[in-house]
């Protein structure tokens, strides 16, 4: 819904912008309002939003809008998302977000060290212990050996948890029970790591329910004693607006080197990601996307920007569409659509275009489709393979005049036999064809209206 309202307001802006060809304070006012709302809904904190909007405005002001919308790109956009976002404006917003979160290349790599010493900090329940295990597995996969160190002497369960995680991923865990000072355990852990000759020592620390002085004091002592290469703050993406204060507190008191944003597989829009960088100047290095040990990914600012704006990966998709679709093909499709002609050749052409853009996998990047499962994708791919086989088995006249098949049972039966598929399969294709044709009919009316300069809504 966010995407819809953002898009429609951008569409409105596009008409205004179109006349002057330039982005002005006036014609950006409404779309910026929508962006502001998108960010607030994504749980970006208000001061961060304010500064962000101001930046976008400054950067976008006076920007010349790139080439006007041509029928073919118009078509692609219409097909892809049912709207016509003004790419210039949305790109500025998106780039600004990426800038804000991304920083320089390599900023999100772990710092070197011999061994690397990685201190994990964060409140209780954010996924810190899980993240320690995930990070160990991640490093292990890149051929680095690790030692995990358990220092949460206040919660024996936390030590057990780390020991179990270590066993599951086959990484050694160093612990000294609950009767030894945590800083002492950490020091001994690093010594053990050196003795074992591991590449990285990952230290899980005690969290608290809230920011408190004991916890911060302990982290500071550990930092002073170990001089870790990285101090990673683990932040729960579901924290929302509160994330900004949290990150600030940790960064002010223990000077973190970066963050791991967990639970990004949840419903959160990821606004916390924006806050982390804005408030601390430190990069997000990884995101946690599930409970399993494998569910850790390096941080991709582009993906996060799209997620925050609620657009799936529309921009990537859009760019791919532009390069995947040959101009003539697109023109032909548009012309055919305007004539309200649509046969099996068109049906296949549409399907090939989709394939060029990355097949059905691209569906995953579209708004509303993020949650499509691998199984659904697989089934959809199988279905289209079947369509292709059936269409190939048709005679040329049937391909260009689907009515022949609609009318004749005998033809459908022959095509089924020739393709080695069932009559039910042929019926399914006929149904899909009819549905797509009627969609195209609707689209063609929309395009005609737009061509006439009328308001499509």
**Nearer Cβ to ligand GDP (71/290):** 290
Smallest gap from Cβ 160 to ligand GDP, in A, equals 11
**Nearer Cβ to ligand GDP (7/129):** 129
Q: Is 5 exposed, middle or buried (0-12, 13-18, 19+ CB in 10 A)?
A: middle
CB count in 10 Å sphere of residue 258: 22
**Nearer Cβ to ligand GDP (263/399):** 263
Contact yes or no for 301/102 (Cβ under 8 A): yes
Smallest gap from Cβ 130 to ligand GDP, in A, equals 3
Rounded CA separation 148/166 (Å): 7
Sequential DSSP letters for 51-116: HHHHHHHHHHTTPBP-SPPPHHHHHHHHHHHSS---HHHHHHHHHHHHHHHH-STTTTSPPP-TTE
**Nearer Cβ to ligand GDP (200/289):** 289
Smallest gap from Cβ 108 to ligand GDP, in A, equals 17
Cα dist from 131 to 7, 37, 204, 297, 430, whole Å? 36, 32, 9, 11, 50
**Nearer Cβ to ligand GDP (152/313):** 152
Could you tell me which of 347, 417, 343 has the C-alpha nearest to residue 387?
347
Smallest gap from Cβ 343 to ligand GDP, in A, equals 47
Contact yes or no for 13/27 (Cβ under 8 A): yes
- Helix or strand or coil: residue 121? strand
* Secondary structure string (H, E, C) spanning 177-218: CECCCHHHHHHHHHHHHHHHCCCEEEEECCCCCCCCHHHHHH
**Nearer Cβ to ligand GDP (38/158):** 158
Rounded CA separation 239/263 (Å): 10
**Nearer Cβ to ligand GDP (298/431):** 298
Smallest gap from Cβ 183 to ligand GDP, in A, equals 19
Smallest gap from Cβ 188 to ligand GDP, in A, equals 21
Could you tell me which of 152, 263, 131 has the C-alpha nearest to residue 205?
152
- Which residues contact ligand GDP (rule: CB under 6 A)? 122, 124-130, 207, 262-263, 265-266, 288-291, 295
Smallest gap from Cβ 132 to ligand GDP, in A, equals 8
């Amino acid at each position: 819904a966010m995407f819809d309202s953002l898009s429609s307001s951008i569409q409105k802006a596009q008409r205004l912008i179109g006349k002057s060809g330039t982005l002005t304070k006036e014609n950006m006012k409404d779309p910026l309002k929508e962006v502001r709302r998108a960010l607030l809904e994504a749980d970006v904190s208000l001061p961060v939003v304010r500064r962000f909007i101001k930046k976008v405005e400054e950067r976008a002001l006076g920007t010349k809008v790139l080439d006007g919308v041509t029928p073919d790109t118009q078509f692609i956009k219409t097909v892809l998302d049912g709207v016509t976002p003004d790419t210039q404006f949305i790109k500025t917003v998106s780039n600004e977000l990426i800038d804000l979160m991304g920083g320089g290349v390599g900023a999100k790599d772990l710092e070197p060290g011999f061994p690397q010493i990685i201190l994990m900090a964060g409140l209780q329940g954010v996924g810190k212990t899980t993240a320690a295990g995930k990070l160990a597995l991640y490093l292990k996969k890149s051929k680095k050996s690790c030692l995990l160190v358990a220092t949460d002497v206040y919660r024996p369960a936390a030590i057990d948890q780390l020991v179990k995680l270590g066993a599951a991923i086959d990484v050694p865990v160093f612990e000294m029970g609950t009767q030894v000072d945590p800083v002492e355990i950490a020091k001994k852990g690093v010594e053990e790591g050196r003795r074992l000759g591991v590449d990285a020592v990952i230290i899980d620390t005690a969290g608290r329910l809230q920011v408190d002085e004991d916890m911060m004091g302990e982290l500071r002592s550990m930092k002073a004693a170990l001089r870790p290469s990285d101090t990673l703050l683990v932040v729960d993406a579901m924290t929302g607006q509160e994330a900004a204060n949290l990150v600030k507190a940790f960064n002010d008191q223990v000077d973190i080197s970066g963050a791991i944003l967990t639970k990004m597989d949840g419903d959160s829009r990821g606004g916390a990601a924006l806050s982390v960088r804005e408030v601390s100047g430190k990069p997000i290095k990884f995101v946690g996307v599930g409970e399993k040990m494998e569910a850790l990914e390096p941080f991709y600012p582009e993906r996060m920007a799209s997620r925050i704006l609620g657009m799936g990966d529309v921009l990537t998709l859009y760019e791919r569409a532009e390069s995947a679709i040959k101009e003539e093909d697109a023109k032909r499709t548009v012309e055919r659509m305007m004539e309200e002609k649509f046969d099996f050749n068109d049906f296949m052409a549409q399907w090939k275009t989709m394939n060029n853009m990355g097949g059905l996998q691209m569906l995953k990047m579209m708004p509303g489709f993020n949650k499509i499962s691998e199984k659904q994708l697989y089934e959809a791919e199988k279905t289209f393979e079947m369509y292709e086989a059936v269409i190939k088995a048709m005679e040329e006249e049937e391909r260009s005049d689907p009515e022949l098949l609609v009318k004749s049972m005998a033809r459908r039966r022959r095509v089924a036999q020739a393709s080695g598929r069932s009559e039910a399969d042929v019926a399914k294709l006929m149904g899909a064809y009819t549905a797509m044709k009627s969609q195209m009919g609707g689209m063609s009316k929309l395009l005609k209206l737009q061509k006439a300069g009328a308001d499509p809504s």
